Structure formats: structure tokens, C-alpha cells
Structure 1
């Protein structure tokens, strides 16, 4: 009984730490959205999260630590989200289009999140690398399948990431219009070497629906 009680107490402790850490990451994201990633101060983070300064230092020693943690969490969440939508899709160009549109549509539905992500990408090389690594396999698939025709993979990756970020900036500035997710997807597919007519067909495809689980 003692071992069981100790184990349960330890589990509760881990869950509480995880919740507090997520609370801090969420608070940091809000600060990034309104002030920029370079402006975060740990005491301000504590205030935004509703915790003591000491609590913040239990998780992060510097604002760079916070940025790295938020960047990693966002990159993982975004990659997981797009991977779910793309499950079962083998076509490289279609996977690229799904990723582009999923990012843009999420940003359009939550401009504050988009603003935070833009500020994170400006300061966090790790975030840019993580996003680039995610699309790399898809553009390679498109090249192998004869859909794309580019000469430099790194430039192709940078083109996609920069293109999506540019649309997110337009969203934050109020210049986004419904349907622009398909427009930018088609344009970026063409930039990778796809013929215009084919790119438009791929970009106009309905996004796959992820079935919700009840568990």
C-alpha cells in the first residue's frame, strides 16, 4: 500500500509539473504575440502565468531557455497536427499542399497565435530548422514522383517556410482573404517546378478530415 501510495503521489507530482510548465509556455506564447520574442522577461512571464518568480526559475533559467522550449513545443504540435491530416496520403505534392494550407488556415482562425509564431521564427533558428525538416521528406517525395523540378533542396525548403510565414504576416496585418490558403499552395507548388494547371488541381483538393476519437 505504501509503495502504491508513493507511486500515485509521484504521478500526481509529475502531472502538476507538466501542467505548470504548459501554463508557462502558454503565457510565453501570449507575450510573444503582443511584444515579440526578444522582449520577454522572466518576471513578466511569472506575472502572465500567475505564478511566483521562483516557480519560473524551477523550469527556465533564461529567456533563451523559454524561447527554445516554446519553439520545440510549437514545432512538435504543428508537425503532429499536419501529420494527422496527411495520414494515408502518399502523393508528395498533395502532402506539401496540405501542410501549407493547414498552417495558413490555423493562422487565419487564430491571428494571435500567428503573431506569436512569426515572432518565434524570427528569433529561433531551431524553429525554422524543425519546420524545414518536416517538409523536406515531402518535397523529396514530390521530386522522386516527377512532380517537382528544383535544383537546390535547401532553397526549396526555405522557399516553402518563407512563403507560409509571409502569408501569416498578411493575416496578422489584416490583408488575408478567404481562399488565400489555396492560392499560396498553388503558387508554391509551381515554384517547386509543378505545372500551373496541375498545381491548381492539387491546391483545390478538399483537405482530408481527421476522425475524432471518443477516448
Structure 2
């Protein structure tokens, strides 16, 4: 894809982000996206067949940004219980941060509304890892993933501050030992280096990102 075409695509994605921060998802039209991006409607259709395709394209791009950030963070921990603790704290703190990412994520009714596959893929990997490490005992992984994802979204969206209680409930359900549960509470979730929305997707790759 040529530089000019890539730049115009990035402009459309940025314009759509601006609209999603001030308008309901279903109210954003092709005309609105074109006007926000200062391009013609015809130019919009050179990149997308419809508004839904543009929304799904942006959803995929922002999913890659947020999950890439989270996975980078999770790799700094050895055990699945630690990683799951960080994941819960990450999304809860993000909800309470009053950031544009918080609005983007929690203006939907579930993580899957704003992220491809929600956070099911990450949760599944963490639980399977915990089972392999013999630190978790789960009979139905899919059911556990659904319960954790739905519960975390509901608690985080309401701004519940009892993070430790939520973590403890989840780890008990996953069969994590009392000793290990007590150890993970002291883990501090670092500040995420996520750029505020709207952001250029072209500059979203930050392999040098450092957590504070």
C-alpha cells in the first residue's frame, strides 16, 4: 500500500475514533466519518464498503494495540496466577482512569463489543497455562472464561474498588492455593503506556515501552 493511501486510511481511522468518543457506536455514519476526516464520501468508499466494515477495521486495529500492550506486560510475570491478577487490575484500573480508552471499552455492554473476541483468548491461555503449571484446577475452561470476563466487565464498569476481593474470588474458583492467593495481592499493576485516543495506528507500535 502506497504512503499516500496508508496516510489516508490512518486519517479515516483517527476520524472514526474521534466520533466514537462523542457518539454512540450505532449513530456514526459514513457521511460523519468522511467529514471528520476531511475527505469525500467517495474517498471513504475507496477504503471501505460500508460503515460497518470501517468500524470492524478500527476495532481490529485497537484490539491489536490494547492486547499487545497487555501481553507485553504479562510476559514480565512467571506464573498464571500473577498474570491473571495483573489482567484483573489492568482492566479495573483502566476503567477508573477516566481515560479515552476507558470510555471506548466501557461504553459497550461487554469487552467483545470493543475488542475482537473480547478477552476470552487471553483468559483461556492463562487458565490453560495455570493447569499445565499445576497451579490451577479447572474442569470447564470455557465456562470459567465466560464467568471471569462477564464478572470483570460488570465490576470494572461500575467502578468497584474491591479489586482484591474480585481477584480472590476468581483464583478460588480456579483452584489456586490459599498461600499463592495471598502472595499475589501485593502485585502492583504498572502504569500502562497506552496513548490516549484518538491515536495514529501508524505510530502505535512501541516495542521500547517501559512501565512505571
Q: TM-score scaled to structure 1, two decimals?
A: 0.73
Match of residue 186 from structure 1 = 168
- Structure ID, larger Rg: 1
Any conservation in 2 of the 1:104–1:168 contact (CA below 8 Å)? yes
Instruction: Compute the displacement of 1:154 (Å).
Output: 0.9
Any conservation in 2 of the 1:28–1:66 contact (CA below 8 Å)? no
- Which segment drifts farther, 48-57 or 95-104? 48-57
Match of residue 202 from structure 1 = 184
**Pairing 1:69-80 to 2, within 5 Å after superposition:** 69-80=57-68
| Greater percentage in helix | 1
CA distances 1:113-165 after superposition (whole Å, capped 9, x unpaired): 33322345659579352521122111111122222222111111112221221
The one of 53, 63, 70 equivalent to 1:65 is 53
CA distances 1:42-93 after superposition (whole Å, capped 9, x unpaired): 2233344444333332332223213312321222112111111122422011
Cα distance in 1 for partners of 2:121, 2:128 equals 11
The one of 11, 18, 29 equivalent to 1:20 is 11
Any conservation in 1 of the 2:95–2:157 contact (CA below 8 Å)? no
Cα distance in 2 for partners of 1:124, 1:73 equals 14
Match of residue 6 from structure 1 = none
Q: TM-score scaled to structure 2, two decimals?
A: 0.74
- Give the number of equivalent residue pairs: 195
Cα distance in 2 for partners of 1:128, 1:152 equals 22
Match of residue 142 from structure 1 = 130
Any conservation in 2 of the 1:183–1:203 contact (CA below 8 Å)? no
Match of residue 196 from structure 2 = none
Cα distance in 2 for partners of 1:81, 1:51 equals 31
Distance 1:88 1:19, change over 3 A: same
Gaps in structure 1 of 5+ consecutive residues: 1-9
Q: Root-mean-square deviation (CA), in Å?
A: 3.1
CA distances 1:84-110 after superposition (whole Å, capped 9, x unpaired): 112242201111111221122222213
